[in-house]
Amino acid sequence: MSNKLIDLQNISKSFGGNLVLDELDLYIRENEFLTLLGPSGCGKTTTLRIIGGFETPDTGSVLFEGKDITNLAPDKREVNTVFQKYALFPHMTIAENIAFGLKIRKKSASYIKDKIRYALKLVNLDGYEKRMPDSLSGGQQQRIAIARAIVNEPKVLLLDEPLGALDLKLRQDMQYELIRLKNELGITFIYVTHDQEEALTMSDTIVVMNQGYIQQIGTPEQVYNEPENAFVADFIGDSNILPGIMIRDELVEILGARFDCVDKGFGENNPVDVVIRPEDIDLVSPGEGTIEGIVTDTIFKGVHYEMCVMSRGFEFIVHSTDYYPENIKVDLKVNPFDIQIMHKPESEDEKAVEIDERLP
């Protein structure tokens, strides 16, 4: 996965005076599953539409295998898009829907027939050729939309929140289907979602976006375990985000107590943000931990209990398989490796990543 397939350089885009993308730099590798993740309005769908040719950037360039395709029409790009709404033609059979792009490209009848059979087998819908779209479930319609895209043999498949309309179980099933398809087809997937679980489950690389900026780029493990800033930490999973003082390397003060950590390079006596995931807090008997607290709320979540623990004026969220009733006194203990230190941003929308710094 070392080759740059798509390279977005200095991309800016505004709509009606509203800046949606601000000098964005990003590249996508060949055969990568890259997810653009962020809240509504962060610029992720606009980025996808610029790659697909449905929008033209105000400034910047889109390179595909080193060639400038910024002004190339969508049908001239080696890219296909799968939308959330499926966009199947209701008056056409499944076979006709899948064959639509191939007929436009004037492929032979035998070629088209083979491709339809191949695509349906790939999405586990053998024998559905003569069915009509309205006879299919939402998940089946989504698979047909994917089949219609892949028969055109694109080098890149763009997926714009394709699972958003499905129920939870179906969505989880389709996540595994998409991973399987990506591995079997060997093509590049660029996926847009605001669902953190989807991004963490499927991606090779996650690009976290907010307010037109890239906040962090990394593997699912990196963005979850080592968030660059408070926005990423808060957006990816549950987090306890606290103000702290970096006393020196590997020692941070939180709520007046000193905790060992593993971070270095933040200077001495500097204000920082501290992230501790709920599952990384151990509740222990009074006197055995670093700071004291009292359990104020306990909810059973199935695989764990979620508890609120008030400590020194801060309400911690704690996930544990051990049950602690409300109003019980506890101590909080955290492994140094589970304390993540971040620079405090100078402003609310500070640009976190100037350029895509992943190794090419």
Do 162 and 264 lie in one domain? The reply is no
Residue 19 lies in a domain: yes
Per-residue pLDDT, 193: 92
Residue 188 lies in a domain: yes
**Residue 261 and residue 191: Cα distance in Å, rounded?**
35
Do 171 and 250 lie in one domain? The reply is no
Residue 77 lies in a domain: yes
Do 161 and 216 lie in one domain? The reply is yes
Do 75 and 168 lie in one domain? The reply is yes
Do 153 and 92 lie in one domain? The reply is yes
Domain edge (last residue) among 177, 198, 225: 225
Per-residue pLDDT, 360: 47
Give the residue from 12, 26, 24 showing the smallest Cα distance to 217.
26
Do 103 and 175 lie in one domain? The reply is yes
Backbone angles phi, psi at 346, to 5 degrees: -75, -25
Per-residue pLDDT, 75: 85
Do 264 and 306 lie in one domain? The reply is yes
Pure H helices in 125-191: 138-150, 168-185
Do 175 and 245 lie in one domain? The reply is no
Domain edge (last residue) among 196, 225, 254: 225
Residue 359 lies in a domain: no
Name the domain count of the chain.
2
Predicted TM-score of the model (pTM)? 0.84
Q: Copy the structure tokens of residue 50.
A: 């610029």
Residue 26 lies in a domain: yes
Do 178 and 93 lie in one domain? The reply is yes
Secondary structure element (H or E) that encloses residue 283, with its range:
strand 281-284
C-alpha to C-alpha distances, 170 to 25, 164, 166, 187, 192, nearest whole angstrom: 34, 10, 6, 23, 18
Which CATH number covers residue 69?
3.40.50.300
Which CATH number covers residue 338?
2.40.50.140
Give the residue from 83, 81, 82, 61 showing the smallest Cα distance to 71.
61
**Residue 242 and residue 52: Cα distance in Å, rounded?**
40
Instruction: Give the pLDDT of the chain (360 residues) as one tens digit per residue.
Output: 447 899 999 999 999 989 999 999 999 999 999 999 999 889 999 999 999 999 999 999 999 999 999 999 998 898 988 876 667 888 999 999 999 888 888 888 999 899 898 889 888 888 888 999 889 888 888 888 888 888 888 899 999 888 876 777 778 888 888 888 888 888 899 999 998 989 999 999 999 999 999 999 999 999 999 998 989 998 998 899 999 999 999 999 999 999 999 999 999 999 999 999 999 999 999 999 999 999 999 999 999 999 999 999 999 999 999 999 999 999 999 999 999 999 887 654 555 554 565 654
Burial of 144 (0-12, 13-18, 19+ CB in 10 A): buried
Do 36 and 63 lie in one domain? The reply is yes
Pure H helices in 16-163: 44-52, 94-104, 109-122, 138-150
Residue 336 lies in a domain: yes
Residue-range definition of the domain harbouring residue 103: 4-225
Pure H helices in 241-291: none
**Residue 314 and residue 334: Cα distance in Å, rounded?**
16
Do 119 and 149 lie in one domain? The reply is yes
Do 202 and 306 lie in one domain? The reply is no
Is the separation of the CB atoms in 206 and 225 below 8 Å?
A: no
Residue 129 has what DSSP assignment?
T
Residue 69 has what DSSP assignment?
-
Q: Copy the structure tokens of residue 280.
A: 């990384």
